[in-house]
Amino acid sequence: MFGAILGDIIGSAYEFDSHNCKSKDFPLFSRRSTFTDDTVMTLAVADALMKVSPEDDDDVIRAELVRSMQAIGRHYPYCGYGGRFIGWMFSDHPQPYNSCGNGSGMRVSSVGWFYNDLDTVLRMAKLTADVTHNHPEGIKGAQSIAAAIFLARTGKSKADIKAYVEQQFGYDLDRTCDEIRPTYHHVETCQKSVPEAIIAFLEGTDYEDVIRTAVSIGGDSDTIADMAGAIAEAFYGMPEELKQECRSRLPVELRDILERAEPRIIG
């Protein structure tokens, strides 16, 4: 989860940059580096999952996800949410709206850490998606990121992770970032950003290099760096100084959720 949140914070400064970065040579932090809706919803999902069990009925888990996402999101209403999600967040009767947006992938990282078998990871990832993003591509995006995190933290190689994601979800991971970068633009669907995030992870050499690679692709850089960073943390770990940087950039309420989750994400 640190990896996702810090990826969001670092990528936020470049999402609407005039040249959208397109380079790995950039300052990791600037005055524009801040958490966005990606971080808020990552922590809202984690907050909900710490209050339920996989043994609970799906409807119980969905209800807690909705409660937490609405309650915490309403405290931070100006963080860059999409229009339909804002409507959902403030609705008295929120319903899923068949989105295939990458919001399902950016908020799912706790699932990859909290559960110790892949079947449970896939089920819980689906539930975190389908309270809003119940389109098949939205669910697939969440499941692929959560599964990659789980596989990374349980010792699988990059080749293993790549093969699983390709076979299970059908993403094309044979492209390179050099091939993607020149024509890539801002797009917020899972199918056009989740595979790019996974490719950035596959190419990176450590946590920081993964983030730099993800941001260099351009487009929805905070979310791509969030998703790539989530997998990179599980695979490489993170330097303590970067974890501290992450903590220092969160308000007390969000930092408290991260601290409560931390014992479950040490590995």
Q: Which residue has the tokens 């079947």?
A: 119
Q: What is the pLDDT of residue 19?
A: 47
Q: Under 8 Å CB-to-CB from 19, ≥6 apart: which residues?
A: none
3-state secondary structure of 27: coil
Q: State residue 20's pLDDT score.
A: 59
Entry pTM: 0.97
Domains and CATH numbers, the chain: 2-17+32-264 (1.10.4080.10)
Residue 104 to residue 121: CA distance in whole angstroms: 14
Q: What pLDDT, on the 0 to 100 scale, is given for residue 266?
A: 58
The pLDDT assigned to 83 comes to: 95
Give 189's strand partners. 101
Q: Which residues of 177-210 are buried (b: 16+ CB within 10 A; e: fewer)?
A: beebbeebeeebbbbbbbbbbbbbbbbbeebbeb
Between vectors from CA 35 to CA 32 and to CA 220, what angle results, nearest 5°? 80
**Sign of the CA dihedral with 108 first, then 267, 228, and 148 last:** negative
DSSP state of 115: -
Q: What is the mean pLDDT of each run of 10 residues along the chain (267 residues)?
A: 97 75 88 96 98 97 98 97 97 98 98 97 98 98 98 98 98 97 94 98 98 95 97 96 96 97 77
- Phi/psi of residue 120, each to 5°? -65, -40
